[in-house]
Structures are given as structure tokens and as C-alpha cells.
Copies of this chain bind each other. A is one copy, B any other.
Amino acid sequence: MNLKKFTRSNLADLRPYEVKDVPYRIKMDANENPFDLPKEIKEILASELLKHSFNRYPDPTAKELRAKLSEQLRVNIEQIVMGNGSDELISYLITAFGRDDARVVFPAPTFSMYEILAKVAGVEVRSASLTEDFDISVDKLIAELKSGGTNLVFFSYPNNPTGNCFDRQGIIDFLERDDTIVIVDEAYYEFSGKTFLPILNQYPNLVILRTFSKAYGLAGLRVGYMIAHPDIISEIHKVRLPYNLNSFSQKVALKLLEHSHQAAAQISVILKEHERIFQSLAQLDHIHPFPTDANFVLFRTEEDADSLFEHLLTRGILIRNLNRPGLLRNCLRVTVGTPEENNAFLNGLF
């Protein structure tokens, strides 16, 4: 039997996601928090684990965790839904609102999952290039919208991989449109301090995504959340897997919120180290870092970026090679590591 005939034609050009198995000593490629959870927190979690009922299905709506979040964010609990990482919530948004007349639109370059998940869902995708200084061009983006249809416009804020926050009024221009759902992906909010949350109740078409994967150092446990108008949340619940967030991740995220001074301490070190990397790179003749609002630094090298990437890898340092024709020509992205890792990276450049 030839299984090929069963495959969806619009998946034909999608490649399965593959992670290259390169040997490395220091991992600075995935915008993770370089610090593991501190021992005190882990000991609290270990004692929670001993009491945990693994054999029972999770609370399908993660009530306790959402209640704590709603208290900290000062939004209603009905405005929050949890995801198995933000990736899952992006997928749910596209499934819930990706009708035949829908289009997914975003500036490019940006976080790759918007495009991948739209293609998986078979929803039409359009993008518009960022300007030379990595800001959005509102006119170019508007030109890509589907008139008379539903538009899902994604803004990574700050943008991954460029690291900057887009012009606020530019995003508001889309919020003012009645044919558009605007998703502001604030994965790096805890580093940028910039958010659309204060205007959430003004715009029912505003969707904010947040995550525990970055500042909270919980990438391994896959906890993301969405904040939006209850009517949007209710559509997400319709397409959501009932038990999408496992019970232990729910518990760990809750404990981290209860001990958020811990994350705050790590964020403070990361921001200081971010500044140190930026300043160190800025002093180099052949390297030009871009100002970023996140836990990573994008920089352009006057040498060949591929060679520099490989050079670092031979020293055991894995960063992200973004070099491709256009805006990201000769660009590399380094995630802020521990002070020791950052030293190794800075020394490794030579």
C-alpha cells in the first residue's frame, strides 16, 4: 500500500521539525533562562511531588493557577486560558478563527511558529517585511490583509529574533480595525517591561500571549497562557484539548508565582548581563549589536556570520545563526547566559 496518497497536499512542503544534534558545551541558542530553578524551589517542588496524585486527570481548566494569575495580572479569571506552551495557544487561535476566509499575517522576520502553524492548519499566510530598523511598516502589513475576511495579525513584542518592541501606535492601528484579531506575543515581557495589558479591556480583538518558558525558567514544563476577551477565550475552549496542561506543570507554575521574587532575582541578573554583552559587542569594530528588549542580543558581523558561528561552535558555544539574504544578512543571535557563559561567548569571538 502506498501511504503517499493519504497525505495532505498542503503539508507536502512542510518538513518535520528537526533539531540538529550538534555537540555543544554552552547552550545560548534558544532564549532559555540560563539559570535552573534554585535549590529551595526544587525542594518545595519535591515535597509537592510526594503528595501529588499522578493517577488523576489534571484540572482541565487549571483553576488554581488561573486564579493566581488573574490576581497578579488584575484581570478576570475568564480572561485567561492556559496552554501546553504558547505554541499550543497559537495553534488554537488559528484553529478557532481560521475560517476559509481567514488569513494569518505577520511582519517578517519573526517567530517561526506563526507561519508553520498556519500552514499546518491550511490557513492562508501573508507577511510583510520589517523596515531597515526592524520596525513594522503599517501600510505594507495592511496591504496584506484580506478584505472582507478575518485577519489574525501576529506581533511578537519584543520581536524574536530582532529583539525590539514595534511602534505601539502601529499595533493600535490594527486593534482599531474590525476585521482583525491582533495577537501580541509578549513571551519576553518580563525582560521588556512593555505590555498591551493595560488596554486589554478597550479592545475585545486584542489577544496577549505570555509564557513561563523564558523569564520563569520553565521551558521544560511547557506552560503558556493567553489573556483576552471572554468571548475569544470561550472559542479557544471549544477547540482546546480538555486536559492540555498536565497537573504537575500546573502545580510548578503556581509555586513559581507564589515565589516570584525568585524569578525577579534571575531577571535582574539577566538584564545586567544583557547590558554587559551589548556594551562589549558594541566596542568591537567588526560587530554591531542591535538594542534589544529581551534576554538575547542580535548582532551583525562584518565577517562572514557562518564562519563566526562555526568558530564559536568549535569552542563548544552554540548560538543561533540567522544569516540569510535581506534584513538578517550576517546576523547572529545570542541568548544571555550565566556570567561565566557570557564570558566564554565574548572570549570565544576572537
Contacts and interface: CB of A to CB of B under 8 A. Distances in A.
A72 interface: no
B17 A57 contact: no
Given A181-B6, A219-B57, A220-B57, A237 B205 contact: no
B96 A58 contact: no
A11 interface: yes
Nearest to A256: B54
A261 interface: no
Contacts of A237: 16-17
Contact of A205 (B1, B32, B35): B1
What interface size band does chain A fall in?
35 or more
A166 to B, nearest CB: 22
A34 B56 CA distance: 8
A37 interface: yes
B246 A99 contact: no
A234 B12 CA distance: 11
Interface string A213-244: 10001111110000001011011011111111
Contact of A53 (B36, B45, B95, B248): B36
A27 interface: yes
A201 B12 CA distance: 24
B57 A238 contact: no
A17 B242 contact: yes
A181 B222 CA distance: 31
Contacts of A19: 59-61, 242
Given A55-B32, A204-B3, A247 B221 contact: yes
10 contacts: A11-B235, A34-B55, A36-B53, A39-B50, A54-B217, A57-B220, A219-B243, A220-B247, A220-B248, A248-B249
Interface of A: 1, 3-9, 11, 14-17, 19, 27, 30, 32-37, 39, 42-43, 45-47, 49-50, 52-61, 84-85, 87-88, 91, 95-99, 120-121, 150, 178, 181, 203-205, 213, 217-222, 229, 231-232, 234-235, 237-244, 246-249, 252
